[in-house]
Structure 1
Amino acid sequence: MSSFRSRQRSQAGRHFIRPAAEHEASKPEAPAERRAPVQREAAARPPRELDLFAPCPRGLEGVLARELAALGAERVETADGGVGFVGDMTLMMRANLELRTASRVLLRLAHGRYRDERDIYALALNVDWPRWFDVSRTIKVKTDGHGSGLRSLDFVSLKVKDAVCDRFRRAQDARPSVDTRYPDVRIHVYLDAEWATVYLDTSGEPLFKRGWRDETGEAPLRENLAAGVLLLAGYDGSQPLLDPMMGSGTLLIEAADIALNRAPGRLREFGFTELRSYDAVAWEGVRARARQAEKPVAPLPIHGSDRAVQMLVKTRHNLGRVGLAGAVTLAQRDVLDARPFAESGLIVCNPPYGVRLDEQDALAELYPQLGSWLKQHFAGWTANFFTGDLRMPKLMRLTPARKIPLYNGALDCRLFVLPMVAGSNR
């Protein structure tokens, strides 16, 4: 998991994830004489009620909460960096398959106070790990934190790994092996200043990995963030949509999947298939219902273009990989040469960000031209620019109707929403 952010509520027992700090302050080791940590273990719950958490790019929590509510999740509650919810095993499988904006779906197994690594070891040892997966499965433990005073999060991961192995030895006189590259089972630990939470990852690889990509342009937009940008722009699959800076086509592919009601995870595998609770018949039923809900592939009112011929080639390749050849109209052209193909619609794009000074100067020259291009040609359309360059609307000489804060990893970005009203320059 690339980032975690959390909000802990000891009285309610709910835990939420937040991005981890890269450098945590150290604190002296706690004395050996101390009280036993407060512990709670979700593994003992009835199987029909799983305590789940779906992290997502920051800024998309509301979108993800609406997705979960539409799936029938209960006790949906947003936090900074994700959404907590409750559901059964079928809902967990559907969430992995159908959520467009989630990064993972995590199952909480333990939650408790800690003072040092020994408390976290005891917390993890209290989980009945053999109940959840077989000793033949390989494991990987990853720890993130925000405000933790422990010296090394890697050492915490090592102690949790030891606890998992010790619990297996106690039950079976055998232990699982570690595989840090391609584990069967991933375990996540999150720490804040006072509380530790242990999660079982039901997703495996992060959910933005849809299972089709083998070609990317420079700095591709992650698929779950692209889907969130589209949904925040109001795209529901019915409106004409144009991406005049398409790169490798991520926004176009996510838009087509929305228009065709295709489950974003239909081409990939998931971590929950390695768990003891995995029900292959139930999973096939979930997949079959998702396939039945799909619309047939046909030409869509979705157009994309890029001035770089290599991006056109990569986008065409990616569309073929995902089964959308012929569904999206592509062209090689400069953004300023793009024209509307309907009376109204949405422009949604992710322009390049200026990192070096010369790039920023070039963009400062481009932005006024983009503003004029929109005013001259796109009356009746709404332009949605997702960018890390916060100067953009001012330099375009346009006033956004909305400025939606989003994060692309650690980069502070905005989705600028610009309705182009006929006869108006602002």
Structure 2
Amino acid sequence: MNKYFAICPRGLEELLLEELRAIGAEELRSTHGGVHFSGDWSVCYRANLESRLATRILLHIVTGPYAKEDDIYRLAVRQLWPNHFAVSRTMRVVTTAIKCPLKSLDFVTLRVKDAVCDRFREDLGERPNIETRNPDVSVHVFLTENTCTLYLDTSGQPLWQRGFRKASVDAPLKENLAAGILKLSGWQPGMPLIDPMCGSGTFLLEAVQMALDRAPGLDRGFAFELLKKFEALEWARIRAAAEARVKPAERMDIRGWDNDDRAVRATRRNLQEAGFGNIVTVDQGDILEIAPLNETGILVTNPPYGERIGEADDLAAFYPQLGTALKRHWAGWNCFFFTADLRLPKLVGLKPSRKTPLFNGPLECRLFEIRMVSGSNRKV
């Protein structure tokens, strides 16, 4: 049994834990920014292929105490790196830390790189080449106040890169965060779903994949395929089973709008590239004017919060109009707004029934749930 750590956007840890449990992971334990778990290689393959929420799956190599950089070097040089990957593979070292007392993380990175290369030189007489941009293998170093943990990355490119979004607009939402927001909204395939400010269509793309039961990693490769212990037949079996499970594509009650014609074109292109062009309806439209075709459903959107359509004053004028539009057109709908602008509920003039803290990278955000009750809010 191997030990792993799955990284995810902060706020999605418990959802990720349940997702990993469903694919056979064991000894699950959530912490800030991810989930520790254990399993054989097939669990690792499935976690990379199937997880909608993880950013990266790391294979645990060793954990040990340290007081200075030399301790970290000694811990790293003792590991049998040539058993994990071939000397012909390019590599890099990535270091992150919480409450680390050492002065330079760059120096730690350098020392671990030296340790890995020294181990190869000692065992094989040659060392791997360093490639910082797009390496075959990444060694991850995680430091706390007094412990160092070394991991091997099994994912390669971040897992939110599904492999088919070609066009984007400013401030795109990462796919795994969008998938987590959809799960938090309670949306289920078959329910009407609308994103009235769809940007490049990330919510729509994630919803379609969920509805088709399509594994998010089917269109991409993974770093575990380059490791020495890669089990090609087992991976082929897991991948074939995931492909066989995908439902036939048919038109769904999923719609997107955006006021910006560039965003509409980007969304349509992304859906087309993914093979979902005839499934979802996307049109140009202003959230202050559009109205749903259904009496109930889920509205989920990532409205601008200063970066896309203007600064705080513009938004302060926009939010009350949004509140009026919601009351006029969206009675009976459950509306979710993901934003870093914590003024939104107050300026919209509607009390959220739930506020979920989430992080978009380092940016603290909220997912506000506003239930638009039929009847009392129907007229303004």
Into which bin does the TM-score normalised by the smaller protein fall? over 0.9
From 108, 115, 126, the counterpart of 1:156: 108
User: Cα deviations across residues 187-209 of structure 1 (Å, max 9, x unaligned)?
Assistant: 10010111000000000111111
From 298, 303, 307, the counterpart of 2:259: 307
Which blocks of at least 5 consecutive residues in structure 1 are unaligned? 1-48
State the Cα distance separating 1:63 from its structure 2 match.
1.1
1:350 maps to amino acid: N
State the Cα distance separating 1:423 from its structure 2 match.
2.0
From 299, 303, 307, the counterpart of 1:351: 303
Confirm or deny that 1:335 pairs with 2:301. no
> Is the contact made by 1:53 and 1:84 (CA closer than 8 Å) also made in structure 2?
yes
2:169 maps to amino acid: G
Tell me what 1:414 maps to: 366
Equivalents in 1 of 2:361, 2:9: separation in Å?
Answer: 7
State the Cα distance separating 1:292 from its structure 2 match.
1.3
Tell me what 2:130 maps to: 178
> Is the contact made by 1:406 and 1:413 (CA closer than 8 Å) also made in structure 2?
yes
CA gap 1:140/1:378 in 2 versus in 1, 3 angstroms: same
For 2:56, what is the secondary structure of its paired residue?
A: coil
CA RMSD of aligned residues (A): 1.4
For 2:311, what is the secondary structure of its paired residue?
A: helix
Confirm or deny that 1:124 pairs with 2:76. yes
Equivalents in 2 of 1:75, 1:238: separation in Å?
Answer: 34
Confirm or deny that 1:195 pairs with 2:128. no
State the Cα distance separating 1:314 from its structure 2 match.
0.8
For 1:85, what is the secondary structure of its paired residue?
A: strand
Equivalents in 2 of 1:171, 1:411: separation in Å?
Answer: 45
User: Cα deviations across residues 240-270 of structure 1 (Å, max 9, x unaligned)?
Assistant: 0000000111111011111111111111110
State the Cα distance separating 1:127 from its structure 2 match.
1.1
> Is the contact made by 2:13 and 2:33 (CA closer than 8 Å) also made in structure 1?
yes
1:367 maps to amino acid: Y
Equivalents in 1 of 2:369, 2:312: separation in Å?
Answer: 21
User: Cα deviations across residues 52-81 of structure 1 (Å, max 9, x unaligned)?
Assistant: 110101001111111111112111111011
Confirm or deny that 1:208 pairs with 2:160. yes
Tell me what 2:343 maps to: 391
> Is the contact made by 1:142 and 1:154 (CA closer than 8 Å) also made in structure 2?
no
For 1:65, what is the secondary structure of its paired residue?
A: helix
Tell me what 2:320 maps to: 368
1:176 maps to amino acid: P
Greater shift after overlay, 332-341 or 139-148? 332-341
Confirm or deny that 1:58 pairs with 2:14. no
For 1:106, what is the secondary structure of its paired residue?
A: strand
State the Cα distance separating 1:360 from its structure 2 match.
1.0
Confirm or deny that 1:138 pairs with 2:90. yes
Equivalents in 2 of 1:126, 1:227: separation in Å?
Answer: 40
1:224 maps to amino acid: N
> Is the contact made by 1:133 and 1:274 (CA closer than 8 Å) also made in structure 2?
yes
> Is the contact made by 1:138 and 1:177 (CA closer than 8 Å) also made in structure 2?
yes
From 166, 169, 173, the counterpart of 1:217: 169
For 2:145, what is the secondary structure of its paired residue?
A: coil
1:69 maps to amino acid: R
User: Cα deviations across residues 194-241 of structure 1 (Å, max 9, x unaligned)?
Assistant: 100000000011111111122110110011111111111112222100
Confirm or deny that 1:109 pairs with 2:41. no
Which blocks of at least 5 consecutive residues in structure 2 are unaligned? none
CA gap 1:418/1:271 in 2 versus in 1, 3 angstroms: same
Tell me what 2:215 maps to: 263
Equivalents in 2 of 1:357, 1:173: separation in Å?
Answer: 58
Equivalents in 2 of 1:356, 1:151: separation in Å?
Answer: 37
> Is the contact made by 1:260 and 1:296 (CA closer than 8 Å) also made in structure 2?
yes
For 1:337, what is the secondary structure of its paired residue?
A: coil
Tell me what 2:32 maps to: 80
From 279, 286, 290, the counterpart of 2:242: 290
Equivalents in 2 of 1:126, 1:110: separation in Å?
Answer: 10
User: Cα deviations across residues 110-141 of structure 1 (Å, max 9, x unaligned)?
Assistant: 10000111100111112111111111111000
Q: TM-score, normalised by structure 2?
A: 0.97
Give the number of equivalent residue pairs. 378
State the Cα distance separating 1:279 from its structure 2 match.
1.3
Tell me what 1:377 maps to: 329
Equivalents in 1 of 2:377, 2:72: separation in Å?
Answer: 59
> Is the contact made by 1:398 and 1:425 (CA closer than 8 Å) also made in structure 2?
no
Equivalents in 2 of 1:262, 1:356: separation in Å?
Answer: 31
State the Cα distance separating 1:424 from its structure 2 match.
3.1
State the Cα distance separating 1:282 from its structure 2 match.
1.0
2:102 maps to amino acid: L
> Is the contact made by 2:170 and 2:308 (CA closer than 8 Å) also made in structure 1?
no
Greater shift after overlay, 205-214 or 402-411? 205-214
Confirm or deny that 1:250 pairs with 2:202. yes
Tell me what 1:279 maps to: 231
Equivalents in 2 of 1:423, 1:380: separation in Å?
Answer: 8
Equivalents in 1 of 2:309, 2:319: separation in Å?
Answer: 15
For 2:218, what is the secondary structure of its paired residue?
A: coil
Q: TM-score, normalised by structure 1?
A: 0.87
State the Cα distance separating 1:357 from its structure 2 match.
11
